[in-house]
Amino acid sequence: MKVLGTLDQFLEKFARYGLVFSVLTMLILSVLTIVLRWFDTTIHWVEPFVRHLVFLSTFLGGVLATGRGEHIGIDIVSKWLEARHLDKAQAIIKRIISLASCLTLLWMIKASYDFFLVELKYGKEVFWGIKSGYLVAIIPFGFSLIAYRFFYSFISSFGGDE
């Protein structure tokens, strides 16, 4: 259980620093693009690169939200159970949501991995000689990180390590 917790903490830090890096890079490159337009100049790879950073940021934000228990919320049921002091029912519902989310994400990982393989085979070069297949690898990667966080949430709910 300690190994899973350590991995979860690592993913939290990785997502936080990755998100900060992505957002700052998007900001700097977007401002650079605006400034370069004043001089009738452009850097062709900036726009697709920023687009993929937005994509990556979305998944990293999902990883952070999942770790905080804010990714999927059924607030009405949770508040109702909390008001009636039904803590065990609330814990069971949280486990069901974590498990269902994890299983759904496993299906999404498989589907996105298949998409990744198709893009590797038929995709075109986007920028810097990088084919689109390598860039869409963000999808199964992001889903995998989120799935792990839901899995850890499910497992830790039995040991009281939340």
Contact between 64 and 15 (Cβ < 8 Å): yes
Q: What is the pLDDT of residues 12-30, one digit of tens each?
A: 999 999 999 999 999 999 9
pLDDT digits (tens, 9 = 90+) for 102-116: 999 999 999 999 999
What pLDDT, on a 0 to 100 scale, did the predictor assign at position 74?
Answer: 54
Answer yes or no: is pLDDT of 121 > 60.
yes
Q: How far is CA 97 from the centre of its chain?
A: 17
3-class secondary structure for 82-140?
HHCCCHHHHHHHHHHHHHHHHHHHHHHHHHHHHHHHHHHHHCCEEECCEEHHHHCCHHH
Report d(CA 12, CA 15) in Å as an integer.
Answer: 5
Residue 72 has what pLDDT? 64
Q: How many residues does the chain have?
A: 162
Tell me the sheet residues that pair with 131: 125
Q: Which one is predicted more confidently, 48 or 23?
A: 23
**Mean pLDDT lowest for which of 63-67, 82-86, 97-101, 144-148?**
82-86
Q: Phi and psi for 71 in degrees, rounded to 5?
A: -70, -50
| Of 63-77, 106-120, 131-145, minimum mean pLDDT range | 63-77
Distances 19 to 61, 62, 63, 91, 146 between C-alpha atoms, Å: 7, 10, 10, 30, 14
Predicted pLDDT of residue 76: 67
Domain extents in the chain: 2-159
79 compared with 129, residue with greater pLDDT: 129
Tell me what the mean pLDDT of segment 96-100 comes to. Answer: 86
**pTM of the prediction?**
0.83
